[in-house]
């Protein structure tokens, strides 16, 4: 027996996550305990579930999320639905209407959900038609502006761009400069997030041609400087032009009538200069700007005011301390940053990296745990936690985290490579091969995957194919030591010992590790070049922290060479 759980209108007229947010809300209301494990993503997708939340645009200042965050939300929501669906006692069908006209967030979540529910009793009926309730026509510019601010703050940039373009069509700089600027800078912000920085640049150029308002022009100059510093493709970045624009922005702030606003704007525009100084290898100069800015900002702020702004400056200072080679001060600064802004996942990721570099694995894992919870489901946090788990001998936990990374972002090559290697370490060559080929389907020329697949094929006896794969890997990355070493092993096994030695010559030139010299020594013995082999074994024995079994083998082979030369 198959029951229906209703139909949901997904038309983009109703905004981001139209239809799916109502569906998730229904499940959450019926299963609060399950929902409590997914509250971050559920509140982001269906804010009506959070009775204490204010509209995102009312938060001050707005923190802009990366565009890829919606993929992380979709993963978490799909896990929530799958857990619910696994417990269903009979097949259930849910109908989603107007999927072809849905917002990008809705389509993304439905795509992830369709893949995730798999063999569960849940079936999705995705339709192009169905009942549709039109939204009110011709909203006011103020209503569009409020909706735009909310979409930007929540990280729903495709919808924000549509709203901003609608708003720009409703007003002109001559009849409503305030709203026109809000729509223009909102559109530029959305475009930057969607990797369309060149179009954003055109918008800011337009601003300078239509108004001489100092507040608007200073903000436009600063935003343009950040495009030239961070967001344009590398060929279009221009530090000199960025510095010129920042100096213009700072000059324009002197014309602001509000003395407090002058201080706040000046301090934040100077952070752009600090960024340029740091990138130019002048961290001490950057630090002076940040220190001075913090002093001036704190002088005009009341207790507990604009804590996220203060945290941002202190985060900048932590980055400069790190650039200056002072991780201890960077860590202390990040502790303070997190105290000011405890809900920003980025700060925990940064602090975890410092803990990891200092060998504090448990502290690093705790910070990655928090980043994953707040993010939510940050692939980099999962990946870095997996690396730490692997280093601690927790292979199963590491595999779980790597599988999560790939469920969120199938193109995460580092995670794919790490997962393949984990499967190889436990002898699951067929699983490793399947993972490697899945990665190569997305990145056909990835040298590390070609190298690993070549090693797998050689283990299966496919020496010709292995040689071809390793050759392809080296064509893509001639500095890949593992590929030279593995191809040498393949050629040695195929009887071409001279070619194996040539490959190992390249590996030895690239690496000080003892293994390439051990392998080359073995090949040289096969050619009867005992004195050269002995030098390789002796050199390898001089390396510190040798594995005990490798040290034993090196000594045995060196003794063999000496007997042969006696």
pLDDT single digits (tens) 531-551: 999 999 999 999 888 989 999
Domains in the chain with CATH codes? 3-126 (no CATH), 410-511 (1.25.40.10)
pLDDT given for residue 54 in this prediction: 65
- Kindly report the number of other CB atoms within 10 A of residue 101's CB atom: 17
pLDDT given for residue 273 in this prediction: 96
pLDDT given for residue 57 in this prediction: 53
Check if the beta carbon of residue 377 is closer than 8 Å to that of residue 76. Answer: yes
Mean pLDDT across 455-466: 94
DSSP 102: B
- Kindly report the number of other CB atoms within 10 A of residue 402's CB atom: 30
9 by DSSP, 3-state: which?
Answer: strand
Tokens representing residue 512 in the block:
């000080």
282 by DSSP, 3-state: which?
Answer: coil
96: pLDDT strictly greater than 50? yes
**Planar angle of CA 559, 563, 566, nearest 5 degrees:** 135
Q: Which of 104, 114, 116, 130 is nearest to 6 (CA)?
A: 130
- Separation of alpha carbons 161 and 184, rounded Å: 10
Mean pLDDT across 127-153: 86
The residue written with tokens 């060196």 in the block is 558
Q: How large a percentage of the chain has pLDDT more than 70? A: 97
Cα dist. 187→64, 157, 165, 196 in Å?
Answer: 13, 9, 7, 11
- Separation of alpha carbons 151 and 516, rounded Å: 55
Q: Which of 126, 176, 144, 132 is nearest to 57 (CA)?
A: 144
- Separation of alpha carbons 434 and 105, rounded Å: 30
Query: What is the end-to-end Cα distance of the chain in Å, rounded?
Result: 86
pLDDT given for residue 58 in this prediction: 47
Q: For residue 91, what pLDDT band results from cuts at 50, 70 and 90?
A: very high
**Which residues, at least 6 apart from 389, have a Cβ–Cβ distance to it below 8 Å?**
365, 395, 397, 398, 401
- Separation of alpha carbons 513 and 529, rounded Å: 22
pLDDT single digits (tens) 232-278: 988 888 999 999 999 999 999 999 999 999 999 999 999 999 999 99
DSSP 14: G
How much is the mean pLDDT over the chain? 93
Lowest mean pLDDT among 31-35, 377-381, 543-547: 543-547
Q: For residue 131, what pLDDT band results from cuts at 50, 70 and 90?
A: confident
**Which residues, at least 6 apart from 514, have a Cβ–Cβ distance to it below 8 Å?**
540, 541, 543, 546, 550, 554
pLDDT given for residue 4 in this prediction: 84
Mean pLDDT across 198-209: 96
pLDDT single digits (tens) 500-525: 999 999 999 999 999 999 999 999 99
Tokens representing residue 119 in the block:
């063999």
Mean pLDDT across 34-46: 95
Q: For residue 106, what pLDDT band results from cuts at 50, 70 and 90?
A: very high
Check if the beta carbon of residue 534 is closer than 8 Å to that of residue 566. Answer: no
Question: What are φ and ψ of residue 102, in 5° steps?
Answer: -80, 160
422: pLDDT strictly greater than 80? yes
- Range 264-271 contact pairs with CB under 8 angstroms and sequence separation of 24 or more: 264/297, 264/300, 264/306, 264/309, 265/215, 265/218, 265/219, 266/293, 266/296, 267/293, 267/294, 267/296, 267/297, 267/313, 268/222, 268/293, 268/309, 269/218, 269/222, 270/246, 271/312, 271/313, 271/316
Identify the bridge partners of residue 126 per DSSP, sorted by sequence position.
96
Q: What is the dihedral of CA 399, 401, 407, 412, to 10 degrees?
A: -90
pLDDT given for residue 137 in this prediction: 66
Q: For residue 53, what pLDDT band results from cuts at 50, 70 and 90?
A: low
pLDDT given for residue 59 in this prediction: 43
Q: For residue 412, what pLDDT band results from cuts at 50, 70 and 90?
A: very high
pLDDT given for residue 136 in this prediction: 66
- Kindly report the number of other CB atoms within 10 A of residue 26's CB atom: 15
Tokens representing residue 247 in the block:
């100096």
Q: For residue 134, what pLDDT band results from cuts at 50, 70 and 90?
A: confident
């Amino acid at each position: 027996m198959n029951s229906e759980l209703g139909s949901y209108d997904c038309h983009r007229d109703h905004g981001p996550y139209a239809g799916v947010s109502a569906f998730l809300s229904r499940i959450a209301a019926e299963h609060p305990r399950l929902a409590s494990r997914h509250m971050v993503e559920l509140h982001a997708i269906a804010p009506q579930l959070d009775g204490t939340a204010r509209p995102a645009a009312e938060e001050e200042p707005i923190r802009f999320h990366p565009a890829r965050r919606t993929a992380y939300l979709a993963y978490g929501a799909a896990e929530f639905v799958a857990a619910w669906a696994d417990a269903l006692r009979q097949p259930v069908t849910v109908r989603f209407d107007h999927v072809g006209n849905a917002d990008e967030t809705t389509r993304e979540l439905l795509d992830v959900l369709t893949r995730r529910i798999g063999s569960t009793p849940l079936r999705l009926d995705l339709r192009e038609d169905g009942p549709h309730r039109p939204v009110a026509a011709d909203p006011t510019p103020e209503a569009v502006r409020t909706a735009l601010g909310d979409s930007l703050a929540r990280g729903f940039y495709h919808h924000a761009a549509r709203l901003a373009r609608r708003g720009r069509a409703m007003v002109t700089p001559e009849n409503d400069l305030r709203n026109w600027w809000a729509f223009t800078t909102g559109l530029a912000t959305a475009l930057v997030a969607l990797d369309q920085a060149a179009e954003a640049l055109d918008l800011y150029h337009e601003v300078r041609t239509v108004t001489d308002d100092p507040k608007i022009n200073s903000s436009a100059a600063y935003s343009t400087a950040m495009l030239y510093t961070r967001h344009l493709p590398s060929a279009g970045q221009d530090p000199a032009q960025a510095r010129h624009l920042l100096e213009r922005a700072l000059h324009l702030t002197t014309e602001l009538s509000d003395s407090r606003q002058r201080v706040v704007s000046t301090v934040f525009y100077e952070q752009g200069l600090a960024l340029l100084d740091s990138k130019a290898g002048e961290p001490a100069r950057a630090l002076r700007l940040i220190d001075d800015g913090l002093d001036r900002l704190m002088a005009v702020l009341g207790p507990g005011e604009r804590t996220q702004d203060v945290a941002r400056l202190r985060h900048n200072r932590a980055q400069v301390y790190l650039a200056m080679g002072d991780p201890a001060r960077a860590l202390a600064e990040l502790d303070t940053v997190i105290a000011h802004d405890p809900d920003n996942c980025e700060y925990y990721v940064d602090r975890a990296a410092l803990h990891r570099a200092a060998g504090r694995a448990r502290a690093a894992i705790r910070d990655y745990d928090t980043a994953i919870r707040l993010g939510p489901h940050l692939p980099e946090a999962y990946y870095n936690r997996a690396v730490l788990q692997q280093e601690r001998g927790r292979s199963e936990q590491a595999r779980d985290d790597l599988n999560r990374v790939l469920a969120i972002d199938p193109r995460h090559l580092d995670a794919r490579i790490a997962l393949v290697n984990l499967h190889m370490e436990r002898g699951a060559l067929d699983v490793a091969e399947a993972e490697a080929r899945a990665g190569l389907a997305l990145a056909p020329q990835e040298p590390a995957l070609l190298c690993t697949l070549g090693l797998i094929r050689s283990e299966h006896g496919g020496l010709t194919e292995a040689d071809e794969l390793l050759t392809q890997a080296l064509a893509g990355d001639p500095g890949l030591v593992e590929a030279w070493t593995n191809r040498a092993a393949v050629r040695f096994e195929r009887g071409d010992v001279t070619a194996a030695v040539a490959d190992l010559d390249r590996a030895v030139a690239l690496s000080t590790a003892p293994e390439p010299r051990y392998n080359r020594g073995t090949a040289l013995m096969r050619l009867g070049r005992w004195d050269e082999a002995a030098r390789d074994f002796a050199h390898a024995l001089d390396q510190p922290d040798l594995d005990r079994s490798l040290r034993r083998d090196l000594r045995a082979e060196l003794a063999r060479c000496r007997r042969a030369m006696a």
